[in-house]
Amino acid sequence: MEFKEPGAAELDMEFGLVRGETAYRVSAPDFELDLGLTSNIEFDVAGEFAVAGPDTGEFTFNHTSPDNILTSAKVGLLDIGDQQSAWSVGVQLGPKLPVANGNRRVGVEGLALVGWRHHQDTWLVVNLGGLLDPEPDPQTPRPAAVEGGIDFSRPLDTGGLWTLDVALSGVRYFSPDNDQLNVTVGVTWSVNDHLDVSLSALGGPLSGGDRWGVLIGFTPKAQLW
């Protein structure tokens, strides 16, 4: 539930090796662009461009594999508290553009978010929502699901240079797709006010979604107006 200042832009890019549901891929990158419009409205674009291997799981990379792009608006609805502790509530909603190989028809994804802040540096955010993805092909039903997650962020030092980030997310499908459950643990280094660098690992115990991955991230920040 952290909103960018009006005119502030942040591009979160992660590069690395991921073992997906059926194939390996190299994220180049997994990205999210956040742009602050007002004090409580933010425009976000998220997606992934990857080079992937065959569905047999061979460790070869023979084709590009872009993911569908989610464009959304995040809106803060409530923010109460003080410097010691605060609660915030918001929503995030937008269309999902069918740019993945073979996909067609625009999808949609929406989340309700509840955030808790302790002092100015520790965050816990819970989200719950649903999705209707673009159609993979004319013979396959569109993926439809409910989803949720928990994100936790806490500094590791008094200066705020190093931060621990932990996330748990899950997807329960109503369509004939495998359910997903992922855990991500990472550390972020705030190089300066304009750049963060991170290293994270993810794991997924269910048959759906990503099985494991190791990613290095770069997050440049800029004030556009």
Phi-psi domain of 212 (left: phi exceeds 0; alpha: psi -120 through 50; beta: other): beta
Residue 151 lies in a domain: yes
| Residue pair 191/208 in contact by the 8 Å Cβ criterion | no
In a domain, 1, yes or no: no
Beta strands 107-118 and 85-97, pairing class: antiparallel
Question: What is the reported pLDDT for 121?
Answer: 86
Q: Which residues of the chain have pLDDT under 50?
A: none
Q: At a CB cut-off of 8 Å and minimum separation 6, what does 166 contact?
A: 151, 152, 153, 183, 184, 185, 186
* 3-class secondary structure, 210: coil
Neighbours of 198 (CB within 10 A): 18
* Alpha carbon distances (Å) from 110 to 27, 145, 195, 208: 24, 11, 29, 21
Confirm whether pTM is higher than 0.85: yes
> Which range marks the domain in which residue 217 is found?
8-223
Total domains present in the chain: 1
Residue 2 lies in a domain: no
Residue with tokens 């899950």: 170
- The CATH number of residue 108's host domain is 2.40.160.40
Q: In this structure, what are the phi and psi dihedrals at residue 89, rounded to the nearest 5 degrees?
A: -135, 140
Question: Which pLDDT score is estimated for 224?
Answer: 96
Q: Which residues contact residue 25 at a Cβ distance below 8 angstroms, ignoring those fewer than 6 apart?
A: 17, 18, 50, 51, 52, 53, 61, 65
Position 195 in a domain:
yes
User: Exposed/middle/buried for 103, CB within 10 Å: 0-12, 13-18, 19+?
Assistant: buried
Q: Pull the structure tokens for residue 206.
A: 């269910």
Whether 3 is covered by a domain: the verdict is no
Give the model's pLDDT for residue 192: 96
- Residue 1: predicted pLDDT: 72
